[in-house]
Amino acid sequence: MTTDHQSPRSSSTHPWPKHLPILLIFLITSLLLLLQIQSLRNTFNITSPSAWSSLFTPNSLDDHQRLRDSVTFLPLKDLRFSKTPMDGNTWFMSSLNDTRDPGESESLHFPSPASKGRLLCLLGRDASDGSKNHYALSWPDALPHGASVLGGLTFVCDTHYDYDNIWHAMGAVFPFVRWHTRNHCARPARWVLYHWGEVRSSVAPWVRALLTAVFIDEPNVKVLADDDGPTCFEEAVVFRHNQGAMSLDAKRAVYDTLRCKARSYCNITRTQTDSIRLTLFLRTGARAFANELDVIRVFKRECDGLQGCVMRVQRSNGMSFCEQVRLMTETDVLVSSHGAQMTNIFFMERNSSVMEFFPRGWLELAGVGQYVFQWLAGGAGMRHEGGWWEPNGEKCPETMKDDPAKCFNFYKNGKVGIDEAYVANWTSRVLKNARQCMLERSGESGLGGCECG
């Protein structure tokens, strides 16, 4: 039986492998790449790995130049928030987020981890438009072109109100005193002041004296020179919310410091006494009592009716800072109509009493601002015994009744009348409570013992 067999293929004939073209392309490409690398090495004279890496790493000088060129100045006053400057945001340095320890006021600190080590730089000195003044952050080794650096600590303050009214100004500088006592009693070399981002060059004399008492040296209010380019600060602390979220304990600690420092500065020691000292602190002009003699007679009669009560009548105008400190130090019950002079109440001892009087129209139209001294008294440890709102007097004209702001301006600086029977009963209660509260006082502040003394 015959079997058919296929003829074997000749060993001398081999077809091309099917992957050979791909392999050739890979080899040719690799060869061209190696030639290109060698050409680059020759062109740039690269002889080491570090030199090779320099092709992809910016030169340090160029890097600093890029950082310097990247510094961007923004308006201090952000007009996007001009209608809501205090509603959950701030128009002053609006791009920067505050830092805050629990119970403390919100602040900015430069340089710090929050600023990534960058300094604060300011530019401009416009006193009427905060959007024409500018701020930026810069690394110390890449300052903006033409910048100068001021050494030491700078306090930068912006307030929604002003620095001429002692109540508003004290509220603005208040958190800086707290920062001072919490940071090794650091004292500023200068202050830079803004109102709505607009430059301010001074503070009320009363506030200047208070700051001198706290920081030893008179405050150096710096107005930046416009011709010298940007000004950067070696260290800067910024507050822009006044007391902000400061806790009651923190506020009370600041008031204790202010009271103690002011008494020390004025060389005043509170004298131990069993007397209740009532002070009638009279205003002249706006919000003065309509009939001062009647008011004096009512309070004198009630004071004479309590054993050990001593009454003093004092006008608020024309007194020096230290005279005001002494008067409050020697007062247990203060009687006054609403006004900036009541800012002095924190110089009184803790648990002292305050009686406040208002013209007609304030209760209905003044809003929360009428309670500022009630808040101050609570923060400083005083007893605000309530207020008297004049119910009588000239009414707001019919032409203004539809405009509450105009109507309030009509009432704002009116005279204050009293109901003698009501005020007499109120005063009697307050004086009796003051006698009891004397036992609750924490002791004499005296000289010495001040924080950061």
- Tens-digit pLDDT profile for the chain (453 aa)? 444 444 444 444 445 555 666 666 667 777 666 666 565 455 444 444 444 334 334 455 577 777 877 788 999 998 887 666 556 557 899 999 999 899 999 999 999 999 999 999 999 999 999 999 999 999 999 999 889 999 999 999 999 888 999 999 999 999 999 999 999 999 999 999 999 999 999 999 999 999 999 999 999 999 887 667 899 999 999 999 998 889 999 999 999 999 999 999 999 998 888 899 999 999 999 999 999 999 999 999 999 999 999 999 999 999 999 999 999 999 999 999 999 999 999 999 999 999 999 999 999 999 999 999 999 999 999 999 999 999 998 899 988 988 999 999 999 999 999 999 999 999 999 999 998 877 665 454 444 578 887
Q: Which residues does residue 356 pair with via DSSP β-bridges, in sequence order?
A: 336, 387
Q: Which residues contact 388 (CB under 8 A, 6 or more apart)?
A: 355, 356, 357, 358, 416, 418, 419, 422, 423, 426
CA–CA separation, 86 and 2 (whole Å): 111
Exposure on the CB side of residue 193, measured as CA atoms within 13 A: 20
pTM of the model: 0.81
What CATH number belongs to 272-440? 3.40.50.360
Look at residues 112, 378, 353 and name the one whose alpha carbon lies nearest to residue 243.
378
Name the H helices within 2-80. Answer: 20-44, 49-54, 60-70
Helix/strand/coil percentages in the chain, nearest 5? 40, 20, 40
Q: Which residues belong to CATH 3.40.50.360 in the chain? A: 272-440
Helix (H) or strand (E) holding 368: none
Q: What is the CA radius of gyration of the chain?
A: 36
